[in-house]
Structure 1
Amino acid sequence: MRCYAFLQLIQTGYTMLSTQHAGSGLLLLGLSASPQVALAAQNWSCPEAPVTHKNTEKKSYPIPKGLPEKAVYIEADQALFKDEGQSILDGAVIIIKDSTQLKADLATYEQQTQQVSAEGNVYFISDGLELNTEKLNFNLATSTGEMQQADYQFSSTDGRGSSQKIRREANGVARLTEASYTTCPLDNNTWSLHAKSIKLDQESETGTARNLSLRIKDTPILYLPYFSFPLSDKRKSGFLTPSLATNVKSGVHVSIPYYWNMAPNYDLTLTTNFLSQRGVKLNSDFRYLSNKQNGAFQYDFLPGDNEYNNKNRYFFNLDYTRKLSENSELTLDAKGVSDNQYFEDLGTSLESSSIVNLERTFSYITRRDDWSFSALLQDFQILDSDNEAYARLPQLKLDWNPAKTENGIEWAFNSEYTFFSNSSSDDGHRLTAEASAKKRYGNEFAYITPAVKLQHASYQLDQDNDRQVNRTLPTVSLDSGLFYERELKDGKLIQTLEPRIHYTYTPFKEQSGTPVFDSSGKTLSYSQLFSDNRFTGKDRVEDANRLSTSLTTRFQNQRTGREVFRASVGQLYHFNDRKVFLPGETIETGTRSELVFEAAGELNASTRMTATAFVDTDETNISASQIKINYKDKKERILNLGYNQRQADYEAAHISFATPVTKSWKLAGSYEHDLKNDRMLESVIGIEYTDCCWKGRIAGRKYLLSDNTSYDDAIFVEIELKGLSSFGSSARKFLSNQIYGYE
């Protein structure tokens, strides 16, 4: 026969609210005597009965319904209440108070102090932590206690461990002696952390460990005399995971970052980098954030580079944004390096080694209703003298773009003043203004949109006897299209047919004497077919008398509206020679552009394809093309194929893949080849091993440097411990950047 009791503390003792015997109804006693009187009246025990709840099961006991707040629930095979306020419980003992639950073979409970002593197969759960031990002393009122030789498990994670002694103090601090931790399953301690002592402070949300070691299969591989870690998602000062990498130019690269949580709204990360061939490089990264401003400052410093004549080298990057009002803000962005070879020597990718200039800008912008005004100061640190850009000192813009239109007409006005400066070319002032209007007529099946635009530019060149140049040109255009759709026979797909015609006219005006500050030719694309100007910037306005035609068809899922496949074809037709050109170009006399093809769609549930092609209809050849095929199935098998060709000077093919080899092993790689010059551009190979509680990755990379003659090598190694962090270089991030779909 099982014994049950609800106990609730009152001012001078407790009240037994109810007792229940198995198979009987609930008896409300309603006693409210002192502890001595109540126990004298209820000095009873229950006969032994079969155990119905094993305390070794890691399962919380359901809290009885109607249990008053702060009440203590007790259940046991046998129970004896003594006059001095002590309860002796024997056999499958269960004690519950709020979120704290205890199960044991034997237990004593002190009514006055709520002190519990338990022995034999003790299972204890509180605040998401489960513990198994042979002996426990715990106070339910103060949540303090101690246990010996305990195994613990976090309820919400796979984290578990053991400790020779666990003591919880009244201030919320928990102390563990000779403790271990792992996320591996039982009997599989592939890795584990061991510490002489651990202190967990819930109030400061901080944990500290002393004499900490990381063990792989019981073999120590890393030792830290002191380690501090957060007990919540809040930031905390301390060392972060170190990283390891290697490349040809710097050798072995070991990084040890330290994070300093200076305040809730600003922090600093200091990283010491040991470069075996160059020396010690110091990185600092400061960030701050407030209601009206935010920013970041990065400064990297390498004193006495062994590979650069022992010269000091540095890089800095400053980002700052200040919100002046609801509609106005200031921004500052400045980058700089010590020398032109910095990214070539210390960059970690082909992209960084190809940087030719570094931008520095200071800007102000304000918006009110439909108006906006901005001011910009822009300069560059030139790393390649063949690519010197113009500085803007300053650039002022005033724009009017009304959100609401009157009578359906969309009006716009844009104006700009800029002073351009360049050490190797003429400085000059440029003032531009542009006014435009357009209106759309149509419905869901057809539309026509006439538009008109007037563009003015005025130049004054400081180094050419203050020569002035003025230009005013109108542009008119007419855009039109139809929309047809039909339901296919299976009823699952809808096919659309969307023809489009766009006409643009801008009269010719001689512009060869106009400087080129920020203009360049636009690369032909499908969207460019419908642009009013084939030049970027404001220094050139195309003499356009052309017609664009295109046809698009789409296949869409009728139920979801998702686009399954899309194909477009279009072409430009010129009615006059193009006499406006950039320096180094000549008059274009062709009557039509290349035929532009675009297609994208799902070949099946796992495969998607995108393709573009430019066909020279005069020479009947493909002048440029690109095709990509991406495959990824439910088994995480990935295959990406790519081909890219531009004119006669570039042709390259790319392949990347990732596939599970076994349940634990995954192989990944990529390769890009220059077909024109028959050389490798980049190759990557990576291997990943996954266990139930850790992952290991290693990746190797070889890539062509920007000089187009030499190569650099790099190796990335990363070990990820489940539930903790990863150490080594970020091989996963590197592989995900190289292989589309890799996770």
Structure 2
Amino acid sequence: MRQALRLLPLPLCIACALAAHHPAATAADDIEPDWGLCPLEEAVPAFPDAQPATGDPADRESLPTDIAGDNLDGVDGENVAYSGNVTLRRGDQFLGADNLEYRSEDSTYVATGRVRYQDSGMRLVAERLEGDQEADTHRVDNVAYQLTERRGNGGAERIEMKGSQGALYGSTYSTCPPGDRWWELRARRIDIDNDKGEGIARGATLRLGKVPVLHVPIFAFPTDNRRRTGLLYPSISYSSRNGFDWRQPIYLNLAPHYDMTLEPRLMTNRGLLLGTEFRYRTRRGRGIFDVEAIPSDQLARDGRQEEIDDNIRPENWRKDDRGMFRYSGRHNLDATWQARASLRWTSDPRYLEDSSSNLSGRTNFSTKSDIGIYGRARTWDAGLMADYWQLGDYTRTENILPFHRLPRAYLNWEDDFGGLFVAGASAELTRFQHANSRSRPGGSRFDVKPWVSMPLEGASWFVTPTLAWRYTTYELEDALARQLANTSGNAPDTSPSRSLPIGTVDAGLFFDRTTLFRGESHLHTLEPRLFYVNAPYRDQTSLPRFDTQRMSYSWGQLFRDNRFTGADRQADANQLTLALTSRLVNSSTGRETLSASIGQIRYFEDSRVGLTPTSEVIPKGKSAWIADASYEINDRWSVGGTYHWNPDSRQEDLTSLRARYLIGDDGVVNLSYRYRRNANNQEDLLEQVDFSFLYPINPSWSLVGRYYYSLLDNQMLEGIAGVQWDSCCMAARLVARRYVRNLRGDLNDAIQLEIEFKGLGSAGPETASRLRRAILGYHREDLYLVPPPDVRNDDGDPPSDDDIFQ
């Protein structure tokens, strides 16, 4: 009888072949579908007489098989017949039936009456199971199955198999409950080849309820993780700029380590765009090439007169034949060194704007390409790289672009000595060139900063004195040296330099106690901190400004030895930061209930180094106070704010308020207000309000929206209004958007509809990830992610055309 037991490893998972995902079914975000609205009942309930489906399927062949039944007739090794509660068990597999017969002379078997099969991936019931072990042919009649590793169920009139090949007749698949079929995929016949990992469905129909909405006479799909050539799901949308927009991706599985996706795209207002994505993967690296081409873009012809009327520079006009190229990749050279590249090219400065549907606001005014080799070890990191900038905003000139670094080499080193001292150094050698080399000539710069510190600390205190020396020297083009001389009034110098010592002392205390707050135990901390900086003044008016800007005045700047980014300026300083932070940390959850910080810089001398010779001096005295606080009122409400109070002008330089309310398990409402003033000239830089929400009306319906408005410009930056519908196995999102698409403030409109068949894929533009970026908390887990630090110049905008970095 042991031969008959070979039917247990029979690949009955052929019944779930329609559950195999087409390449397009992979989600853009790593978020599993929400099955919260699904009932607990399953299409095939658990078998009460089956053992738990545990164990590894790969171990089945080596495991023993147990067979039992109420009655046994026949002789073991010849013809046997089990009847009454027949069960076969091996590892994670279970087979149950009322009757099981085996004929040894022709190696045939028949199982009838409540045939049940279960393993770690599925359960099924059938009317009859029969086969020929010698010929390796099997047939299952009237099958119903339930996937257990992932949601899905369905059935088949019959399944026929021969070896690794088989066919399903009259098969169905859905992730919906059997009694509430929102959608179902049916096929007249499905041929399966498990050796190739391929299935071919014939006469396949997708039904919404009882209504067929899509019929495909024949299509191929994978039955395992191997990729297959075929059509991906199309994306359909409409916008005022593109008109009716249809994308039809075509996936090409060229080899195990590389593939390609062709993406023809029809835009009724513009023409046909041809897109190609080529991906490769090797033992040491991977990369993606992305190319787009739109010959004879109708938008260029129709908008030419508007460009002329708006006095747009001819070099920034749309090209008739347009395109884009992107490459992103990396390659591990060894355990220490890695090569990385991120390359971008567009045919004209308007391409980014015309292809953007950015929810975060304005289109970038530039694109950056970089390539390099980078290394990292325990005590050092280094790199040799180059970057290149291209204009991405047609309303500006190339003068606003940063300098290219062609190339840049850097080294950072840090190590401890004897457990008492820590020493390190930072060095950089860079060649700067500009896209507009006539008005903005370049040069080379070498910058080195060795330092040594002595960190002292105890259980509740720390003191870290640090002494550094910074040396910077240049080799400038003659034209740049003359420009600097005209600005500073000094004689032209093609080899200017700067050197100075920098001393800092960072010290702090940590006090804590256990206290009750709102009836719960909390750890209450008090953390005073002092940070002293001393750096002598050096005249830097003869130095160029290649890549240096002022940093935004923020909490992090209180504890830095330089208020500028880049190496072209080193601030002189004789200043002391006084700061205090207090926290209330819930003892049971570990989360911060309350956090409050306040700090200020005391300038003992004027700080005279500026970006330009005419930059205002920071006078002796006190900086603006920085206060920051956040408070979790309860599990639903949280508020926070940042406030900068300038004692000289006796008014705020920055105000940022934020509030969040969580609705139920999924809903969220965000409200924020931001205001910033230039501390030097008291000019208003920005004033914005941002309101966004996900409001569940009931478990199935919800509203989404965002209103992002600039009070300073009297202009909406982005508006979103949408409705979402969700069920156990299906979801739909209809979103209308109006957003700023360039720095000039031009608006674009779009309406997008996405229908998601959970467990299968979606049709229409991918809206969930865009809403996730626009509405913080759209995916609840995003609220607990730490955002990246924000370091930028004071105004937060790109430099103006006359802002020459010199």
- Classify the TM-score, shorter chain: 0.7 to 0.9
Q: What amino acid maps onto 1:168 in structure 2?
A: M
Q: Which residue of 2 aligns with 1:444?
A: 459
Cα separation, 1, equivalents of 2:653 and 2:573 = 23
CA contact (8 A) 1:686 1:735 kept: no
1:59 aligns with 2:89: no
Secondary structure at the counterpart of residue 430 of structure 2 = strand
Q: Cα–Cα, structure 1 residues 8 and 725, in superposed 2: closer, same or farther, change >3 Å?
A: same
Alignment partner of 2:410 out of 385, 397, 402? 397
The DSSP-based 3-state class of the residue aligned with 2:495 is strand
CA distance in 1, matches of 2:65, 2:340: 59
Partner of 2:220: 228
**CA separation in 1, counterparts of 2:244 and 2:712?**
34
For the pair shown, the structure with the greater C-alpha radius of gyration is 1
Shift of 1:84: 12
Decide which of 452, 456, 468 is 2:471's aligned counterpart.
Answer: 456
Q: In the alignment, does 2:723 pair up with 1:714?
A: no
Residue equivalent to 2:370: 361
Q: 1:83 to 1:162 in 2, by over 3 A?
A: closer
Asked if the contact 2:360/2:773 (under 8 Å) is kept, the reply is: no
* 1:271 equivalent among 255, 259, 263: 263
Deviation at 1:457, TM superposition (A): 1.2
Which stretch shifts more, 497-506 or 580-589?
580-589
Quick one: distance in 2 between partners of 1:217 and 1:561? Answer: 48
Corresponding position of 1:429:
444
Q: 1:484 offset after TM fit, Å?
A: 1.6
Q: Could you tell me which amino acid in structure 2 is paired with residue 396 of structure 1?
A: A
Please give the residue correspondences for 1:241-260 in structure 2 after superposition, counting only pairs within 5 Å: 241-260=233-252
How many angstroms apart in 2 are the aligned matches of 1:63 and 1:427? Answer: 75
Q: Residue 652 of structure 2 corresponds to which residue in structure 1?
A: 622
Distance 1:268 1:60, change over 3 A: farther
- d(CA) in 1 for partners of 2:47 and 2:476? 83
Contact 1:460–1:466, Cα closer than 8 Å, also in 2: no
Please say if 1:298 is aligned against 2:314: no
Q: Which whole-Å CA distance do the structure 2 matches of 1:597 and 1:481 have between them?
A: 18
Secondary structure of 1:581's aligned partner: coil
Q: What is the match of residue 585 of structure 1?
A: 615
Q: Which amino acid letter does the alignment assign opposite residue 174 of structure 1? A: G
Quote the Cα distance in structure 2 between the aligned partners of 1:447 and 1:117.
79
Unaligned runs of 5+ in 1: 1-6, 11-55
Residue in structure 2 matching 1:670, options 706, 710, 716? 706
Report whether the alignment pairs 1:206 with 2:218. Answer: no
Q: Evaluate the alpha carbon distance shift between residue 252 and residue 405 of structure 1 in structure 2; reply closer, same or farther with a 3 A threshold.
A: farther
Measure how far apart 1:79 and its partner are: 6.3
Question: Which residue of structure 1 aligns with residue 783 of structure 2?
Answer: none
Q: What is the aligned counterpart of 2:253 among 257, 261, 264?
A: 261
Q: Partners in 2 of 1:533 and 1:682 — Cα distance? A: 36
Q: Secondary structure at the match of 1:249?
A: coil
Question: Contact conserved, 1:343 with 1:353, CA < 8 A, in 2?
Answer: no
SS at match of 1:610: strand
Q: Does 1:418 align with 2:430?
A: yes
2: CA distance between counterparts of 1:115 and 1:315? 63
Match of 1:146 among 123, 130, 139: 139
- The 1:250/1:256 distance shift into structure 2, 3 A limit, reads same
1:117 to 110, 126, 133: 110
Deviates more, 1:324-333 or 1:436-445: 324-333
Look up the match of 2:12. Answer: none
1:485 equivalent to 2:473? Answer: no
SS in 2 for 1:358: strand
Query: What is the distance in 2 between the residues matched to 1:132 and 1:663?
Result: 33
Relative contact order higher in (CA < 8 Å, ≥ 6 apart): 2
The structure-2 alpha-carbon separation of the partners of 1:335 and 1:87, relative to structure 1 and needing over 3 Å to count, comes to same
Q: CA deviation at 1:739?
A: 1.2
The residue that corresponds to 1:660 in the other structure is 696
Q: Is the 8 A contact 2:117 2:123 kept in 1?
A: yes
Q: Compare the two structures and name the one with the higher strand fraction.
A: 1
How many equivalent residue pairs?
Answer: 686
Aligned equivalent of 1:572: 601
Task: State the percentage of identical aligned residues.
Answer: 28
Deviation digits for residues 283-328 of structure 1 (CA, Å, limit 9, x no counterpart):
2222222233322211111122111138221111122323333222
> 1:649 matched to which residue of 2?
685
Partner AA of 1:605 in structure 2: D
Aligned AA for 1:485?
A: D
What is the Cα deviation at residue 641 of structure 1?
1.2
Match of 1:523 among 544, 552, 557: 552
Secondary structure at 2:249's aligned position in 1? strand
C-alpha contact (below 8 Å) 1:133/1:147 kept by paired residues = yes
2-side partners of 1:532 and 1:71: how far apart? 73
SS in structure 2 opposite 1:348?
Answer: coil
Between the aligned partners of 1:427 and 1:663, the Cα distance in structure 2 is 61
Shift of 1:654: 1.3
Aligned to 1:510: 539
Instruction: Give yes or no for contact 2:361–2:739 (8 Å, CA) kept in 1.
Output: no
Tell me, yes or no, if structure 1 residue 473 matches structure 2 residue 467: no
Displacement of 1:544: 1.0
Which AA in structure 1 matches 2:67? Y
Q: What is residue 802 of structure 2 aligned with on the other side?
A: none
Contact 2:51 2:94 in 1 (8 A): no
Aligned with residue 383 of structure 2, among 357, 371, 374:
374
SS at match of 2:768: helix
Looking at structure 2, the residues matched to 102 and 562 of structure 1 have their Cα atoms a distance apart, in angstroms, of: 50
Segment drifting more, 260-269 vs 713-722: 260-269
The answer (yes or no) to whether the contact 2:363–2:743 under 8 Å persists in 1 is no
Q: CA deviation at 1:148?
A: 4.0
1: CA distance, partners of 2:403 / 2:51: 74
**Structure with greater helix share of residues:** 2
- Partners of 1:546 and 1:443 in 2: CA distance: 26
* d(CA) in 2 for partners of 1:71, 1:199: 31
Contact 1:500 1:550 in 2 (8 A): yes
